[in-house]
Amino acid sequence: MDKAATEMMAEESHRQDSANLLIFIMLLTLTILTIWLFKHQRFRFLHETGLAMIYGLLVGVILRFGVHVPQSMSDVMLSCAVNASPATLLVNVSGRFYEYTLRGEVSQGKGHQVQDDEMLRKVTFDPEVFFNILLPPIIFHAGYSLKRRHFFRNIGSILAYAFMGTVISCFVIGLIMYGFVWFMKLVGQLDGDFYFTDCLFFGAIISATDPVTVLAIFNELKVDVDLYALLFGESVLNDAVAIVLSSSIVAYQPAGDNSHSFEAMAMLKSFGIFLGVFSGSLALGVATGVMTALISLHKFFTKLRDFSLLETALFFLMSWSTFLLAEACGFTGVVAVLFCGITQAHYTYNNLSPESQDRTKQLFELLHFLAENFIFSYMGLTLFSFQSHVFNPLFIIGAFVAVFLGRAANIYPLSFLLNLGRKNKIGANLQHVMMFAGLRGAMAFALAIRDTETYARQMMFSTTLLIVFFTVWICGGGTTPMLSFMSIPSAVLGGSQWRNTKHESAWPFRIWYNFDHNYLKPLLTHSGPPLTATLPSCCGPLARCLTSPQAYELHDDDSDFILNDANVSSMYADVTVSTDASGSHTVNRNRSSTNSTGGGLCDEGLDHELGLAEHEVAIRGTRLVLPMDDPVEPPTTVTLPPPPSPPHSDPRRHRL
């Protein structure tokens, strides 16, 4: 082939790749415009993810059946005497060697459709793109924007659903699917090998829930906050559990020739791998989060605060590198980046400049939105662009039955056990909604598409797509009628919403809060009480060395919540200056713990910090109440935004 022909082929390939990327950009653009229309019309029966899947389906149909590449078989050799299918093939043509890479198997009778298959293959991304580029911002945003108040108030229940529930669901689905596979073999409906470990692997990947549709509707309708916290916390953590569990099942290797027989030692070894990988990934994520907090305290980084763009870029790269570092070390990047996000939201965020705080929050929110909608659009496209689908009716029916029963075995027994020790019971209606809201999404799809080489994995992938479509469209679309039918109450933003959190939180968390508030926050951030006030007097020199100078300028109850534009409130210092009409003033100190011990202050700090709305910003200052109306009426605090300063002739009370 001469040089001119090679350049023409490269140019044609470049144009085709650009057109393929343009397809996905147009899909996202259409999705965003339709989302705006739905929000304007308050249409809640179809979420943006389901909409993205519909657009992907339409484009996939067009590419599969409506677009055909002109046939040119002159440079295609339809037969070659090779007994295997090597990944790389070196071909000797007249003394010159050419390297060819395996693209995949072509079905029998489709040799004349090589060009069409090549076009569809180009819009099929490498699975590593999902794990290394699209998944990290989705998982990191879940940890970085975690609503910690209700999350930690329900931490015991969330851990039970995420860990025990996911394992129960995995084995229930695996056992049911093994029964269906055995029946398929009996009636001759199975065309390849399908072992019990494959059934367990399918149970692990399909147990990863992603109720983005339901949570978006919950957030808009302001449903019960505990229900929202339970669903969100479970979905965040069980993604991490599902990916580690699937890796442990793959690592199951019994001794002997039959690698799929049951062996107790091999199972214990897989369980040990599960614990080791999960704990190692968690430790790595927390360690990198703490490291970024320490780096942000360094003099170099404090000088970098003057350049918010550079500060945000460094924070972004250090966060993303956590995922890649975990994968390179043999751990799970999903777990590491999740807990890295939680740690950075708790510590590192407080050390950033105000501009970088806003930039990082908006940046990861944008990346999460684009990545998630891209994945759901790609799901719809893949239903027609993927070349190795295996749709088996018996397996699909069995999968839907198994998913339903596995979710039920997760929610109802665990809820019964948890209610034995919970003061705030998980009612039957909430359990039904949690059962109904167990949608499958991005994580299940990414785990299924990562390996589609064998017959069993291809059947799992095709069935996973159908389950995701059904749960997002049917279960997600039926959320609003389900809430009305179950009479789920909305969240109350009055007095009952601001309950005493100290007694509602689990005692291990209260102990952890006191330790974190007195020692870790002053050590890793610019906020919190100085270590000179919390460490013994004998440690005075060390405390002065480790305490940030800015910590002496802040109060010990400075909030560390991330600012959320939807839930912004202002916290003021405890001094209220009231001035009457005669010009005299009084100073009121609202803190009832002036003479309390340090432990009492920590308990009240827990009430104060966790009793506030999620993601608030602390504004330290003094409330100055200027009575200009009736001097007899006691000063009041207005929760609405303050109006513009009125003229002196218009007597009105306002807050500065």
Instruction: Determine which of 175-189, 213-227, 282-296, 313-327 has the lowest per-residue pLDDT on average.
Output: 213-227
Q: Parallel, antiparallel, or unpaired for β 575-579 and 96-101?
A: unpaired
At 473 the pLDDT is 87
> In the predicted model, what is the mean pLDDT of residues 622-630?
39
Q: Best-predicted range by mean pLDDT among 3-7, 147-151, 239-243?
A: 239-243
Report phi then psi at 587, rounded to 5. Answer: -115, 120
What is the DSSP secondary-structure string of 161-190?
IIIIIHHHHHHHHHHHHHHHHHHHHHTT--
Contacts of residue 135, Cβ cutoff 8 Å, sequence gap at least 6: 323, 333, 334, 371, 442, 443, 446
Closest to 319 in 3D by CA, of 359, 277, 279: 359
SS3 498: coil
What is the DSSP secondary-structure string of 456-484?
HHHHHHHHHHHHHHHIIIIIHHTHHHHHH
Torsion, Cα 441 446 448 452, to 10 degrees, reads 150
pLDDT at 219 over 50: yes
> In the predicted model, what is the mean pLDDT of residues 177-192?
91
pLDDT at 351 over 70: yes
Top CATH class of 127-254+265-363+390-486 equals: mainly alpha
CA distance 119 to 107: 16
575: confidence class by pLDDT, cuts 50, 70, 90: very low
At 39 the pLDDT is 76
At 62 the pLDDT is 85
What is the DSSP secondary-structure string of 9-36?
HHHHHHHHHHHHHHHHHHHHHHHHHHHH
DSSP 130: I
> In the predicted model, what is the mean pLDDT of residues 252-263?
61
Question: How would you classify residue 490: left for phi > 0, otherwise alpha for psi between -120 and 50, otherwise beta?
Answer: beta
> In the predicted model, what is the mean pLDDT of residues 72-96?
64
Q: What percent of the chain has pLDDT over 90?
A: 21
pLDDT tens-digit readout, 402-427: 999 999 999 999 999 999 988 888 88
CA atoms within 13 A on the CB side of 116: 18
pTM: 0.75
At 490 the pLDDT is 59
> In the predicted model, what is the mean pLDDT of residues 327-351?
90
pLDDT at 611 over 50: no
Closest to 189 in 3D by CA, of 395, 387, 388, 461: 395
SS3 446: helix
264: confidence class by pLDDT, cuts 50, 70, 90: confident
Instruction: Determine which of 21-35, 43-57, 110-124, 443-457 has the lowest per-residue pLDDT on average.
Output: 110-124
CA distance 458 to 445: 12
E-strand spans in 153-304? none
> In the predicted model, what is the mean pLDDT of residues 529-543?
79
pLDDT tens-digit readout, 359-401: 999 999 999 999 888 888 888 888 888 888 899 999 999 999 9
Boundaries of every domain in the chain: 127-254+265-363+390-486, 509-551
pLDDT at 15 over 90: no
Tokens of 538: 């004998």
202: confidence class by pLDDT, cuts 50, 70, 90: very high
pLDDT at 557 over 50: no
- Mean pLDDT, the chain, whole residue set: 75
At 418 the pLDDT is 92
pLDDT at 463 over 50: yes
pLDDT at 500 over 50: no
At 391 the pLDDT is 93
